[in-house]
Structure 1
Amino acid sequence: MTVIIVFILQLCISLTFQDSLDINSVPVHIDEDFYWRDYRGSIPKDALVGGSKLNRPTYIGQVVHSNSLIPGPIVQEDKGMYFYFEGDAYFVTENVKIFCTKHPEKFNWTKIHNGEVRNGLDVNRFVIGGSNNMYIGRIRYHDGDLVGRFSLDSSSYSTLISFEGSVDDMLVEGNTFEILYYIDDGRKRQFVSFSLKKTFNSFLIVANSLITLWFSKFLQ
């Protein structure tokens, strides 16, 4: 009888604190760490460098075309953005957005080989830059890094559809490229949760012993 009562008490307490002390439930808050500003021919100070052309930095742009949001490179010297859509290459100078962040250290370029997502990469950390889950990527092109887009294979989420991008009215494709990856993994929150969980588990052990002792004497 004593064992059953102790087990029920311990189970109730454990279930109460399970969600708040689970070290594996660290949320990903990508949307809180970047935003899109209007691009009007000048580069904001908080714009994230996306690539390069002729040894000069390029940036990550976004435009609405045919009711779709499409990412592509902003080339400051050209005062506009290049993108590719359904077989055609475009260059626009109006209604363009530019990717900005106050925390550039939280974004990293991670290489993909032959279109395969290697073990350890979390698709929830891929940065969406357009409609229909168009993610932001870049590829090596003419001694520079060309910003463009890629999508996931919806049937398996393990293989990437090849990269697509455009610059100077040219379509650029490939299966080996880099993806923009969010690397803020909430280690501080995870450490705090882990410490709390260890403390709570120690408390349960002591409480279990005390309750068992008390009920043993009470039921004698």
Structure 2
Amino acid sequence: MNPHTCHHCHHHPVPEGYYWRDYTGEIPNDAFPGGHDSNGQPTYIGQAYLPNGGVVPSNIYRGQAGMHLPSNWKANYSDLAMKVLCTSSPSSLSWVNATASDIHLVTAGKQLVIGGYHPGAKGTKKLLNVGRALHQGELSVGKLLAYDGGPDKLHFIGGGTEISVASYQALVLNSPSGCC
């Protein structure tokens, strides 16, 4: 089967949806906005590598050289392997209101956007999804822990530290019309 067709209807091409582009200090034209800072300026969805912490999604602010990533209850700085989430079709992505207790219900039939991974036991990797929440006037992007069967909370940087909330928005890839 062609990897770019839907397995339910082989004749309908599946859009690429989203991709991660290397971040070089400039926000590309196809970057997908993630939120806004406390001054109302747009922020973007980025990811960076954190040694012993995996690849973690967080905010990218226009012109920044590195990112602050939520890990171990603090803001960890990294400028390693930075990427920015991009799409050629912004309508292929949307934000869904969710809580830690209903995330699996409200996203049933939708694909959560993968934002990175967290290293697990014995070399395994646990996927991190992309979410956002409003905190002190800033709509902040963070990592959504949607694994382990426990509360699926969003972790993001707020006020220089890692914050965890149970009510947030999850980023999902919309299914192409007439398919899936």
Counterpart of 1:140 in structure 2 is 134
Matched with 2:107 is 121
* Unpaired stretches in structure 1, ≥5 consecutive residues: 1-23, 191-220
Q: Which residue of 2 aligns with 1:149?
A: 143
Q: Which residue of 1 aligns with 2:8?
A: 25
Identity %: 24
Task: Look up the match of 2:46.
Answer: 61
Q: Which has the larger radius of gyration?
A: 1
Contact 2:34/2:44 (CA < 8 Å) preserved in 1? yes
The whole-number CA distance in structure 2 between the counterparts of 1:30 and 1:71 is: 25
Seen in structure 2, the aligned counterparts of structure 1 residues 166 and 31 have a Cα distance that, compared at 3 Å, is: farther
The 1:97/1:140 distance shift into structure 2, 3 A limit, reads same
Question: What is the CA RMSD across the aligned residues, in angstroms?
Answer: 2.7
Scaled by the length of structure 2, what TM-score is found?
A: 0.77
Aligned to 2:3: none
SS of aligned partner of 2:178: helix
Quote how far apart the aligned CAs of 1:80 are: 3.0
Partner in structure 1 of residue 154 of structure 2? 163
- Structure 1 pair 105–90 and aligned structure 2 pair: CA distance change class (3 A): same
Structure 1 residue 26, shift from structure 2 partner: 5.5
Superposed displacement of residue 89, structure 1: 1.1
Contact 1:40 1:94 in 2 (8 A): no
Over residues 135-188 of structure 1, what are the superposed CA-to-partner deviations in whole Å (9 max), with x where a residue is unaligned?
A: 000011111210001122434xxx6421101145222210000000111x2323
Corresponding residue number in structure 2 for 1:173: 164
Separation in structure 1 between the aligned mates of residue 14 and residue 60 of structure 2, nearest angstrom: 22
The amino acid across from 1:173 in the alignment is: S
Q: How does 1:65-104 map to 2 (within 5 A)?
A: 65-67=50-52, 68-104=54-90
Using the size of structure 1 for normalisation, the TM-score is 0.64
Whole-Å Cα distance in 2 between the matches of residues 76 and 88 of structure 1? Answer: 22
2:73 and 2:161 in contact (8 A); partners too: no
What is the Cα deviation at residue 83 of structure 1? 0.7
- The equivalent of 1:204 in structure 2 is none
Distance 2:33 2:134 in 1: 15
